[in-house]
Amino acid sequence: MRSMNNVEKILERNAIFPFLPNILYLEREGKMDWKVILRLLMIMTILFNHLLLYLEILIATVIGHQE
């Protein structure tokens, strides 16, 4: 349980992009578990949704300026 607390401290201390190199560290140390993978999936889903939102706004802006 002590190692899990260390993993959570590493995850909470870092933002999205500094957090990614620590994923490689956790995998190398063998501390990659379902919570880490779930957080990664959540972050990637949020980033993908933001990308789609910005793309939708861009397309709506381009179509709006053509009319």
Q: At 62, which helix (H) or strand (E)? A: helix 34-66
Kindly state the tokens that stand for 28.
């190398």
* pLDDT score at 1: 47
Domain ranges of the chain: 2-66
Q: How many CB atoms lie within 10 A of CB 67?
A: 4
Residue 11's pLDDT is 59
Q: What is the tens place of the pLDDT at every residue in 1-55?
A: 455 566 666 656 655 555 566 676 777 777 777 777 888 888 889 989 999 999 9
pLDDT at 51: 92
